[in-house]
Amino acid sequence: MLPVQELSSVEDFKANILEAYPPKIAKKRARQIIVNKVENTEDVPVIMANTRTIPGIITMRGCAYAGCKGVVLGPTRDILQITHGPIGCGFYSWLTRRNQTRPTSDQDENYMTYAMSTDLQEDEIIFGGEKKLRAAVEEAVALFHPKAIGIFATCPVGLIGDDVHAVARAMEEKYPDINIFAFSCEGYKGVSQSAGHHVANNKVFTDVVGQDDTFSKPGEFKFNILGEYNIGGDAFEIERIVEDCGLTLHSTFSGNSTYQEFSSAHNVDLNVVMCHRSINYLAEMMDKKYGIPWFKVNFVGAEGTSKSLRKIAQFYQNDDLAKKTEAVIEREMVEVAKVRDDVKSRCEGKTAVLYVGGSRAHHYQDLLREIGVVTISAGYEFAHRDDYEGRKVMPSITVDADSRNIEELSVEADPARYKPRISAEERAKRESEGFEFADYHGMMPDMEDSTLIIDDCNHYELEELLDRFHPDLVCAGVKEKYVVQKRGIPMKQLHSYDYMGPFAGYKGAINFYKEIDRLLNCNAFKFTKAPWDTEPELSATYSYND
């Protein structure tokens, strides 16, 4: 635990930050900037999250469309995706999120490099764009003959009242062998990307998952990973490891994924969740409808990966699987330990702050901890209270007007296909033995006392934080990157990984250790100040003639 005087310094800092705000905003931010205190192993203070961004603030957040099309659906290579709206949204969600994909053959469909849009023009905004959307679907079918088409609504489409769902239904009637579905993910929905994740989960659940009862990958231990988007090849590394353990990864939602894997995803025995924020809804709904249990895992960090693999093996209660898993862990940890110890010798004691997305601000603390880097502050762009405080607070989360606009599906057990993978008694028994299902403890219990937890951190607060605490490393997104680096502080993008990776799994951990070593110890940032900037100016004269 940090010394007590540190606590007063963070309290102080919080007070200073709030002073600059108009009173109403200061009051709101006071509830979103929290000095962490963990009691009884995981009781933490209440944080306010998932509330409106303050107008005029330079924010790190994006919109519902970005969360739906960009994050959740974007990485699937063979669902043809049409953005319905003016050109911008479609353009910006085109390939910038680095979801790598690897079709099994040259003949497989791969639409990842295509950005499709109805490119609405003024006339269509005035007279309605449904006709153009129908025509666009027809043209897409004629050119590509896809298995499935997703349609994504943008802000103006919602306002002019285009019924994207009616168009999807009509087009599906016309092309019965193509699954056509639409998302009401207008950018103004909710308060951040989070609304879009929820919208995406709902539609994938109702229109895609469960459509194919026949397909199943071979293998004894089949499971899905939810909330892994294959940034920089993370999913490839996870696929490698779990295969070596003897597990069958049926589908990844949605990194390196296909429509067939999604539509048959209910034919497995287990769901594990990586990014809790973006996809916990789907895990929950699949549990209710099909009886597939889920728990939270973390493949970021070598320790996290080992722990997650062991938990998955434990779930199946098979000695052979457990043995194989241990062998893989032992094998992989040899190289990991070697690099980790070397890197740690140069990075131990350095400090970091992380402001990223949903779960990454939590997961990456594990990797940093492994090489001795201390996280002094962290927060999420679009999380809810449960991501900070753990799922136990979910019943106490109040639903505000912005969240009420996102549909909450009522899900019941499927009369024909509900099959509890483990019986209620067995589940209770395992739980009593300490095995947790449907769990997530949140980020705050994992962080030290007196660290600062900042929800929806903005530009002004980030700058103040850098001024006050001088961290050695910042992890955030591209909009923050150069703000930080101009000061000579290295910044690691944790949305795009600065075009490196993978950072998940064992090889990923090694990559990340080396990358942090480079950032903290390379020469480049030492050139920030010229030699003549660091010493006071001298004036002198020759004394030759004296």
Partner 1 sequence: MLLRHTPKEISERKALTINPAKTCQPVGAMYAALGIHRCLPHSHGSQGCCAYHRSALTRHYAEPIMASTSSFTEGASVFGGQSNMLESIQNIFALYDPDIIAVNTTCLSEVIGDDLKQIINRAMGDNKIPPGKTVMYASTPSFKGSHVTGYANMLSAIVQNFAVATGTRNDAITILPSFIEPSDMSEIKHIAEEMGIKYIMYPDTSDVVNAPMDGKFHMYPKGGTTKELIRQSGDSRRAIALGRVGVFPAAQLLDTKCKVKTDILDLPIGITATDTFVDTLRKIAGVTVPESINDERGRLVDVLCDKAQYVYGKKVSLMGDPDTLFGLAQFCKDAGMQVLHVVTGTPAGAKWDRRVKELLGDGTIVKSGAQADLFYLHQLMQNDKPDLLFGNTYCKYIARDMDIPLIRTAFPIYDRMGHSYFPITGYRGGLHLLIKVLDAFMDRQDRDAPEEKFELVM
Which residues are annotated as catalytic?
A: 63, 66, 97, 197
Residue 147 as a binder of partner 1 (CB under 8 A): the answer is: no
To the nearest whole angstrom, how small is the minimum distance from the Cβ of residue 477 to partner 1? 8
Q: In the range 377-416, which residues lie near partner 1 by CB under 8 A?
A: 401-402, 405
Nearest to 334 by CA among 306, 297, 315: 306
Judged by CB under 8 A, the stretch of 29-37, 56-64, 240-248, 424-432 that binds partner 1 is 56-64
Residue 103 CA to residue 108 CA, distance in Å, equals 6
Report if residue 61 touches partner 1, rule: CB under 8 A.
Answer: yes
- Applying CB under 8 A, which part among 127-135, 272-280, 288-296, 368-376 lies near partner 1? 127-135
Selected binder of partner 1 within 40, 41, 104, 113 (CB under 8 A)? 113
Helix (H, G, I), strand (E, B) or coil at 531: helix
Interacting residue with partner 1 among 54, 170, 393, 500 (CB under 8 A) = 54
Nearer to partner 1, 156 or 304 (CB): 156
178 near partner 1, judged by CB under 8 A:
no
Using DSSP bridges, classify how beta strands 116-117 and 179-183 pair: parallel, antiparallel or unpaired.
Answer: unpaired
Residues 359 and 534 sit within 8 Å (Cβ to Cβ): no
Specify the residue, 143 or 428, whose C-beta has the smaller distance to partner 1: 143
**Residue among 46, 114, 331, 436 that touches partner 1 (CB under 8 A):** 114
Which letter, b or e, does each residue of 412-443 get, where b requires 16 or more Cβ atoms within 10 Å of its Cβ? eeeeeeeeebbeeeeeeebeeeeeeeeebbbb
Q: Does 89 interact with partner 1 (rule: CB under 8 A)? A: yes
Question: For 291, phi and psi rounded to 5 degrees?
Answer: 80, 25
Q: d(Cα 54, Cα 33) in Å, to the nearest integer?
A: 14
For residues 53 and 314, which CB has a smaller minimum distance to partner 1 in the complex? 53
308 near partner 1 (CB under 8 A): no
Backbone angles phi, psi at 257, to 5 degrees: -115, 165
- Does 133 bind partner 1 (CB under 8 A)? Our answer is yes
Give the range of 139-147, 166-174, 341-349, 504-512 binding partner 1 by CB under 8 A: 139-147
Q: How far apart (Å, rounded) are the C-alpha atoms in residues 463 and 297?
A: 33
Instruction: Please tell me whether residue 180 adopts helix, strand or coil conformation.
Output: strand
163 binding partner 1? (CB under 8 A):
no
Main-chain phi, psi angles of 443, to 5 degrees: -80, -40
Q: Is 59 helix (H, G, I), strand (E, B) or coil?
A: strand
The answer to whether the bond into 445 is cis (omega within 30° of 0) is no
Give the span between the Cα atoms of 208 and 190, in whole angstroms.
24
Q: Answer yes or no whether residue 37 interacts with partner 1 by CB under 8 A.
A: no
Of the candidates 121, 317, 345, 396, which one interacts with partner 1 according to CB under 8 A? 121
Distance CA 138, CA 136 (A): 5
**Closer to partner 1 by Cβ: residue 330 or 407:** 407
Q: Does 58 bind partner 1 (CB under 8 A)?
A: yes
For residue 95, the 8-state DSSP code is S
Q: Coil, helix or strand for 22?
A: coil
User: For 373-408, what is the HEC assignment?
Assistant: CEEEEEECCCCCHHHHHCHHHHHHCCCCHHHHCCCC
Supply the minimum distance, in Å, between the C-beta of residue 155 and partner 1. 4
State which amino acid sits at residue 48. Answer: M
Strand, coil or helix: 357: coil
When asked if residue 18 is in the footprint of partner 1 (CB under 8 A), the reply is no
Range 187-206, binding partner 1 (CB under 8 A): 187-192
The three-class DSSP label of residue 338 is helix
First to last CA, the chain: 63
* Interface pick for partner 1 out of 4, 15, 88, 408 (rule CB under 8 A): 88
Stretch that binds partner 1, among 185-193, 227-235, 253-261, 352-360 (CB under 8 A): 185-193
- Asked whether the beta carbons of 14 and 35 are under 8 A apart, the reply is yes
The footprint of partner 1 on this chain (CB under 8 A) covers a number of residues equal to 90
Options 115, 393, 409, 438; binder of partner 1; rule CB under 8 A: 115
Instruction: Give least dist CB 511 to partner 1, A.
Output: 20
Q: Is 469 in the site for partner 1 (CB under 8 A)?
A: no
Identify the residue among 28, 48, 128, 144 touching partner 1 (CB under 8 A).
Answer: 144
Stretch near partner 1 under the rule CB under 8 A, chosen from 128-136, 262-270, 288-296, 425-433:
128-136
Beta bridge partners of 248: 222
Among positions 506-535, residues that touch partner 1 (CB under 8 A) are 528-529, 533
Does 140 help bind partner 1 (rule: CB under 8 A)?
A: yes
Which residue, 109 or 342, is less far from partner 1 as judged by CB?
109
> Rounded CA gap, 421 and 408, in Å?
25
Q: Which long-range contacts (CB under 8 A, 24 or more apart) does 429-435 make?
A: 435/311, 435/314, 435/315
Cβ proximity to partner 1: between 4 and 524 the closer is 524
Tell me the closest approach of the beta carbon of residue 274 to partner 1, in angstroms: 23
Q: Which of 63, 242, 368, 373 binds partner 1 (CB under 8 A)?
A: 63
